[in-house]
Structure 1
Amino acid sequence: MNAPLDAGPTDPQDFGFLVGDWEVAHRRRTDFLDAGSAWAEFAATSRCWSLFDGAGNIDEMDVPGQGWMGLTLRLRDRASGLWSLHWSSSRSGRLFPPVIGGFTDGRGDFYGDDTYDGKDVRVRYVWSGISRDTARWEQAFSVDGEKSWVTNWVMEFTRRRVPASGTPAG
């Protein structure tokens, strides 16, 4: 499915909502390819900052209960207007292949190709439920040419409040 790539140019500020500090509630399948596998739940914090006047950003996620950190580099291609999202984890220290796409009507759809457990997978990221203080991200894999998807990771973002003293809450 190439619909997100055909959606046309997106706004360079599409990911502006993500800049700042967040609490993140994770739900992740214990087996990314098995829709019947159990969900593991854990918490994280995330901090995102803008690059290139909003045409890029980086977020760093700290997942202390799991013993790792992650980051996403997002860049908007100036020629096509599409975004490429590149994930990395302290567990591997490498960038995974990007997912590419854009936003339509407040929803971001991004697609790419990767491998998981030795199998070729089509990857889909969806950003939705976006407001000033909340956002939802989900990842799904397809092994059958996008006929079916297994949603295997969901993150619910809630903006961290900064008290009047200037130090983060909590």
Structure 2
Amino acid sequence: MKADPALAIPAVTFDAHGELKITASASSSPRDFDFLVGRWRMYHRRLNKRLENCQDWTEFESTDENFRILGDVGDTDTYYTTEMPGPDGTRGSGKPFEGVTVRLFDTKTKLWSLYWVASNVSALDPPVVGSFENNVGHFFCKDTFKGRDVIVVFRWDVRDKDNPVWSQAFSADKGKTWEWNWYNVSERIK
């Protein structure tokens, strides 16, 4: 599982106050996440150490159930795995892991905001914000990782709607370079 190198991450720009400038694509729509409605088996590949030139990955599986909320402006999912590997790939915690994503479409800006909360943290992460163009969505936020300022990008590649690919990358240099640290390919459960 690798990010498609033909899919460049859009350039990151900042306003005068250092905040990310994110503009919706012309085709951005409140129906962009309709492809996800239903149940999925997800195959993950996660980098064991982020921003440390690590080459070791851990693979695991999860399930996900997704549905629309709030009419035409929302989408949510519940993510579950029987055991989330530790950040360094270790196994053996024996604890199930759940997460919830809430995706909200702003009808004025035409941008999506994606909020994630995990059972082991119990707090919403800062939302990643963006839109889709040509069946590929890029969603960005500023965050910190182990005390370092980073920009986070989530990419949804839905050119194959039966096997969408989600991936995540971090940039510690304001978007000049990116380290991909998590991929998952989803397969619809029929």
Q: Report the TM-score when normalising by structure 2.
A: 0.80
Aligned to 1:134: 163
Aligned to 2:32: 14
Quick one: percent identity of the two aligned structures? 35
Aligned to 1:85: 114
How many aligned residue pairs are there? 161
Aligned to 1:64: 82
**Using the alignment, how far apart are the partners of 1:83 and 1:124 within structure 2?**
13
**Using the alignment, how far apart are the partners of 2:27 and 2:110 within structure 1?**
4
2:99 aligned with 1:102, yes or no?
no
The alignment yields a C-alpha RMSD, in angstroms, of 1.5
Unaligned runs of 5+ residues in structure 1 are 162-170
Give yes or no for contact 2:24–2:111 (8 Å, CA) kept in 1: no
Q: Per the alignment, in what secondary structure is the counterpart of residue 34 of structure 2?
A: helix
Runs of 4+ in 1 over 6 A off after TM superposition: none
**Using the alignment, how far apart are the partners of 2:26 and 2:64 within structure 1?**
29
Q: Compare the two structures and name the one with the higher strand fraction.
A: 1
Q: Report the TM-score when normalising by structure 1.
A: 0.89
Give yes or no for contact 2:162–2:187 (8 Å, CA) kept in 1: yes
**Using the alignment, how far apart are the partners of 2:179 and 2:124 within structure 1?**
22
Q: Per the alignment, in what secondary structure is the counterpart of residue 75 of structure 2?
A: strand
Matched to 1:45, the amino acid is: T
**Using the alignment, how far apart are the partners of 2:69 and 2:57 within structure 1?**
34
Unaligned runs of 5+ residues in structure 2 are 1-11, 14-20, 85-95
- Superposition map of 1:16-31 within 5 A: 16-31=34-49
> Given the alignment, which residue of 73, 95, 109 partners 1:55?
73
Shift in Å at residue 61 of structure 1?
0.5
2:128 aligned with 1:120, yes or no?
no
Aligned to 1:73: 102
Matched to 1:10, the amino acid is: S
Shift in Å at residue 118 of structure 1?
1.1
